[in-house]
Amino acid sequence: MRPRIASVLIVLCLTVSFGADFKSIKTTRTGVQTSYGLIRPLDQDGGNFYLQNVDGLIEIKLTAKAQIGLLFRERDIRKMIDSRRVTIRDAEKSYSLPKDLYVVVPFRDWRAAQSALKNGKFRDAHLSAKPVPDHHPTEDELWLSGKLKTTEKGHITPTKVLSVNGREFRGTTSGYNYAERIAGLFDHTDIQPFVQQASVHGTLIGDVFHADLVFLRPIPDQTANDDPNLPRYLFIGDSISGNYDTGLRRTLAGRFNIHHPPTNCGSSTKGRNSVRSWLGDFKTRGRHWDVISFNFGHWDSGTTKADYQANLENVIQQLKPTGAKLIWVSTCPVPNGYDAAGALKNGRAPGRTAGVMNKYLNPWALEVIRRHPEISICDQWQFVKDQESGRYEQWWHGKNVHFKGEPAHALGRMLGAHVAKLMDVPLVNQETKR
């Protein structure tokens, strides 16, 4: 019996877009089409669903051979797999794995398969919780599969070892952002809208994506702990937003339902491609947004002005349909412990250098934001600069863009006060001092 196989999304994959209507559908290095987004309900009894992303809604139809698995990227992934229990912390979900795991390695063509057979190495693979037979690729059956080899104590080595008919192959099953995929853990009844994202792999036929493989990523339910009487606030940002998270939440506690996408929002390119999924089903009451703050900058410190501004404009156009009040948060400085920012290099900003935000990224962003006078500006860069010889003096002399302790909390209080003022919500018993 032929094992059920499908490709995985790999960070270095060769991608091909499929027209303006389906920008999110790409072709992986192994020749399989893939897309990613938030699950929306279509036909839960049959397992079919909508995938919501930058394309809007894509209808997903499960094929007869479709397998449903898990997509996860957690700290201590290898320890979790060793213990045969995977815990998705932010979604508070835990899953047991079988003792024996298997590996499936699909190939784009016979040449790629021959290369793996020759050098004994593989990539673009995924794990399987269901047994698959040992199989060497042939010209007609372009996959390699077999049991994942473990140590005598049952541990998995950092480099995966696949044993096929007595021969060992070494490689990786990690994909985009070092995420792992384990096929065959679930069935179609485990597909749940709004609280899962999905990476689908298969073939686009007409306007319907036929999925052979679906990897589910559990995410927190945005409404689970909401007070229906309070406005809903989404703050979008990179690790700096994680630094000031505590100060922000303390400031707005009891006044707003506060949410952040379940990820480091990274660059403006990531924002452009992902913001539609982060917004969720905002047209449904209770999942709407009243106010959204957003920032992209540190991950764009080596980009061009044209690309950065185009991405920001695209993000704004995706945010506007929510009807939420929008706040642009300027990008915090790079401290003086880094080399000073020089001139553009081939049109690109000079990377993480002292002064790069004030010289390039923030002015570039401001040109875009000023096209939209309804967008409020929360100037965190100026907030940190104004206290260069005070609260942030030590930070300015260091070589770390991140904030800790009181300096981080102050950024959160500052943004929280801005949000509350914009929404005309009084802050009672909250410290909002600078």
Domain boundaries, the chain: 20-218, 232-422
pLDDT in tens, 68-82: 999 987 666 778 888
| Residue ranges of the chain with per-residue pLDDT less than 50 | 1-20, 44, 432-434
CB 78 within 8 A of CB 90: no
Give the pLDDT confidence score for residue 75 in this predicted structure.
Answer: 62
Residue type at 426? P
The strand pairing partners of 291, in sequence order, are 233, 325
Give the pLDDT confidence score for residue 6 in this predicted structure.
Answer: 38
Quick one: which of 180, 195, 196 has its CA closest to 103?
180
DSSP structure class, residue 22? G
* Alpha-carbon gap, residue 364 to 114, rounded angstroms: 49
Give the pLDDT confidence score for residue 52 in this predicted structure.
Answer: 82
Give the pLDDT confidence score for residue 350 in this predicted structure.
Answer: 98
Beta-carbon count within 10 A of 373 CB: 7
Q: What are phi and psi of 430, to 5 degrees?
A: -120, 140
* Alpha-carbon gap, residue 212 to 201, rounded angstroms: 6
CB 33 within 8 A of CB 13: no
196-212 core/surface letters (b: 16 or more CB in 10 A; e: else)? bbbbbbbebeeeebbbb
* Alpha-carbon gap, residue 184 to 68, rounded angstroms: 5
DSSP structure class, residue 341? P
Residue type at 174? S
| CATH class, range 232-422 | alpha beta
Residue linked to tokens 């880094």: 338
| Structure token digits, residue 362 | 């923030």
CB 201 within 8 A of CB 33: yes
- H/E stretch holding 268 reads helix 268-279
Question: Which residues does 276 contact at the CB level (< 8 Å), separation at least 6?
Answer: 37, 52, 53, 54, 56, 318
pTM of whole model > 0.75?
no
| Backbone angle region of 186, left / alpha / beta, with phi > 0 → left and psi within -120 to 50 → alpha | beta
Beta-carbon count within 10 A of 103 CB: 24
